[in-house]
Chain A
Amino acid sequence: NAGVTQTPKFQVLKTGQSMTLQCAQDMNHEYMSWYRQDPGMGLRLIHYSVGAGITDQGEVPNGYNVSRSTTEDFPLRLLSAAPSQTSVYFCASSYSPSNNEQFFGPGTRLTVL
């Protein structure tokens, strides 16, 4: 199993550009989530999904969109990038919402100029 994979590993955007961060898992996990990590702020939940077709907002959802059309994939979209979205983004998955031993991907480092 590849586990949780994220692409790209690094990305530089200009303010106003859009992009999609990809996340995929091959463990047949129902629960997937996106976090951002910023210095002194820890990991903050952006959006999460408890299964295909179901998504919900986390702590810091503004500026981000998600969809979950398949169990395997959970892309994160930035519609109009802002410098405040410069961060490291982590995708995670687990068997179910009640099993929170989540498996994390290696992260995407995003810089918005």
Chain B
Amino acid sequence: DQQVKQNSPSLSVQEGRISILNCDYTNSMFDYFLWYKKYPAEGPTFLISISSIKDKNEDGRFTVFLNKSAKHLSLHIVPSQPGDSAVYFCAASETNTGKLIFGQGTTLQVKP
């Protein structure tokens, strides 16, 4: 059973516009959420995170929103740049277990 789901396999946006990547989860015990970025032939790299006690976290062009009642989080990238083209993974964890569970990933293409 997939506890973290990214239902959009791919997303294409124009340079300068907003990219919105979505993620849903089912485990109400998750208390920390993260987004990772992955380029081909490289390992994932950490992008931004949010604790379950917050509903928004911002870091430069990247903002993560958390809606606990809907068990939904989203990553906003504004403005999108061609270098943002990559696979984005959503991940969730229960602090007391230490396990980090990933979604399937969304491939973002930012067109010049």
Contacts and interface: CB of A to CB of B under 8 A. Distances in A.
B42 A106 contact: yes
Contacts of B43: 4, 90, 92, 104-107
Residue among A42, A59, A105 having the largest count of chain B Cβ atoms under 10 Å: A42
Interface residues of A, number: 27
Interface string B49-66: 100000000000000000
Interface residues of B, number: 27
B34 A101 contact: yes
A35 interface: yes
A74 interface: no
Interface stretch (B11-19, B67-75, B76-84, B102-110): B102-110
Contacts of B9: 40
A40 B87 CA distance: 12
B57 to A, nearest CB: 13
Interface string A22-41: 00000000010101000011
Interface in A92-110: 92, 96-98, 100-107
B52 to A, nearest CB: 12
A97 B46 contact: no
A44 B91 CA distance: 11
A51 B69 CA distance: 34
A27 to B, nearest CB: 14
A101 B44 contact: no
A52 interface: no
Given A42-B89, A42-B104, A98 B44 contact: no
14 contacts: A31-B98, A35-B102, A42-B4, A45-B99, A45-B101, A45-B102, A48-B99, A50-B98, A90-B43, A97-B96, A100-B49, A100-B93, A101-B34, A105-B43
9 nearest A-B residue pairs (beta carbon): A97-B98, A104-B43, A43-B102, A42-B104, A42-B102, A101-B46, A98-B95, A100-B93, A104-B44
